[in-house]
Structure 1
Amino acid sequence: MLIDSHCHLDMLDLSRHDNSLDNVIAAAGERDVSKMLCVCVDLNKFDHMYQAAKRFDNVWFSAGVHPLHIEESPFDRDELSRLAADPRVVALGETGLDYYYSTETVEQQQASFAGHLELAGELGLPVIVHTREAREDTIRLIREHGNTESSGVLHCFTESLEMAKAALDLGYMISFSGIISFRNAAELREVVKAVPLERMLVETDSPYLAPVPYRGKQNQPAYVAEVAACVAELKGISVEQVAEQTTANFHQLFKRTANH
């Protein structure tokens, strides 16, 4: 059994699936991807995301503001607290820092990230962290505002081994996407080899970043099977081992999922 630890079901172009999210979920099941976490990037769109997928009992949700969405969806502590009261909301995020696409909103990004970290600590929920070109500030803010008891995950990891180790030291997990299968990702594959399987998650980040051999197509949760296969090959272990351990890791981190 595999879990897609990070996807955006509400962003899929369903015209490619006979206009039915049921077909996406069924396709995942056929690849032994039995559960998935649908991740929020904009509080204004949370309800749309939730309504689209709430009828599937194998889908969980997060609530948060992506660093590139903070202008249209500012950090709102009260609204986040309200959404997090739902037992199917198992994490805050995705939040974090993105200096690659936006350096004009650095202060707002940092304030929003700190707010997510502090609230997550109070609620005992993990944080889903997006980080790009902001290694030092990401780790610094986690140290200053995070809670090692609830911790979180650096999702769709593309940064250095040094940063991965710093996050691991803070109790965080590292999640890898289909990027690890890309031809130009040799350095990232070395990070996969170095990160302990016991601290790792796998994800699609669908509809983005489809792995080889689907690169260039719309990504979907079923394709997390390719990510797991790539991890298995890099570590010289079976896909079954990767599936079993990353599933256990998922339930360990996202504690609200453990009973479902």
Structure 2
Amino acid sequence: MSTHPTGAEPDRPIASARPIRWIDSHCHVTADRFDEDRREVLERAFAGGIESLISIGSGYGIQGNAAAIRLAEGDPRIFAAVGVHPHEAADLDDEAREALRGWLDHERVVALGECGLDYHYMNSPREIQLRVFAEQIALARELALPVSIHVRGDDPDAYADLLGIWLAEGGGELEGVLHCYTGTLEFARRALDAGFFVSFSGILTFKGSHELREVARGLPLDRLLVETDAPFLAPQGHRGRRNEPLWVARVGEILAALHDRPVEEIAERTRANTRRLFRLPDHPAKATFAATDPPTNGHENGTRSPAP
């Protein structure tokens, strides 16, 4: 895996007494771990300051993308991203390609993803991951969609290969986000030059994440997003539990401490960055969660290898 966070722990108070609005830029709320209480999780998030969220469809079988769209159809505060996760790259056939293109045309879909490279688990052969990632970048370019990127590897090759494919396929004409970033500051800066935003997850809150905190401190605020990657990577104080969108605030609080800025400012800036990347409305929707039945994700057990 890429380097893990070393640097001083933020030591100033980070809590705020005022209600603050956030956008969770990446979560998997159609996962089976939410099947028993999905409505309650979403209502708790919206009541607790979550303005909107991006529901990621990939990672639970290619057909699982449809569940993210169904969820987004039920509430205007929920948007969907669909794509082929590197774990599932070997499953992409002509039927799945046709389905993916259809999903990407849906009005509630704001991005292609998550897609990318995973050289840690290697659930799909490297050559297939490379080909399928390149194919998706070309598709995003054709449809003018931003891209949510997954990259993980036990050596730097995953990062180098990812950026090489992104540029070779014309990704420089697009915008994207490196979700749940755990790489180096040097690579992050190269990625910014290639049109990426960088998103941090609950890993940023972990006690041992010193190096990653220095990466976050070294990046400009106008290119940063926050996410939960729920149900994975619950922040410090909730570790070992199922993560949920409400807890994205903890990531933002750590980011505020690292940049010595008010939490309210970080919330506003990350919201603005997320709206810009995914072309979300400037004004938050004020609907209530409308879906009455939890969406099925199209996968027998709705599980995948742990993120990032």
Task: Compute the TM-score of the two structures, normalised by the length of structure 2.
Answer: 0.79
C-alpha separation in 2, matches of 1:236 and 1:227: 14
Structure 2 stretches lacking a partner, 5+ long: 1-20, 286-308
Aligned residue number for residue 40 of structure 1: 57
Letter paired with 1:250: T
Aligned residue number for residue 136 of structure 2: 116
C-alpha separation in 2, matches of 1:207 and 1:154: 18
Shift in Å, 1:258: 5.0
Does structure 1 retain, via aligned residues, the 8 Å contact 2:69–2:108? no
Does structure 1 retain, via aligned residues, the 8 Å contact 2:86–2:116? yes
Letter paired with 1:48: A
Does structure 2 retain, via aligned residues, the 8 Å contact 1:4–1:221? yes
Does structure 2 retain, via aligned residues, the 8 Å contact 1:44–1:73? no
Shift in Å, 1:74: 4.7
2:102 matches 1:82: yes
Aligned residue number for residue 38 of structure 2: 21
RMSD over aligned Cα, in angstroms?
Answer: 1.8
Mean Cα deviation higher: 55-64 or 66-75 = 66-75
Computing the radius of gyration from Cα coordinates, the structure with the larger value is 2
Q: Give the one of 226, 231, 235 matched to 1:202.
A: 226
Greater RCO, CA 8 A, separation 6+: 2
Change (3 A) 1:220 1:103: closer
Local SS of the residue matching 2:261? coil
In the alignment of these two chains, the number of paired residues is: 257
C-alpha separation in 2, matches of 1:228 and 1:180: 9
- Equivalent residues in 2 for 1:131-170, closer than 5 Å: 131-133=151-153, 134-170=158-194
C-alpha separation in 2, matches of 1:118 and 1:96: 13
Aligned residue number for residue 219 of structure 1: 243
Shift in Å, 1:101: 0.9
Shift in Å, 1:129: 0.4
Q: Deviations over 1:58-109 (max 9, x none)?
A: 0000110110122334584432221111111000010000001117610110
C-alpha separation in 2, matches of 1:60 and 1:222: 16
Q: Deviations over 1:189-245 (max 9, x none)?
A: 001001111000000000000001111110000000111111111111111111100
Local SS of the residue matching 1:192? helix
2:87 matches 1:63: no
Change (3 A) 1:37 1:213: same
Shift in Å, 1:12: 4.9
Local SS of the residue matching 2:30? helix
C-alpha separation in 1, matches of 2:201 and 2:84: 20
- Equivalent residues in 2 for 1:227-246, closer than 5 Å: 227-246=251-270
Shift in Å, 1:44: 1.1
Letter paired with 1:43: I
Does structure 2 retain, via aligned residues, the 8 Å contact 1:176–1:203? yes
Task: Compute the TM-score of the two structures, normalised by the length of structure 1.
Answer: 0.93
Change (3 A) 1:70 1:89: same
Change (3 A) 1:57 1:96: same
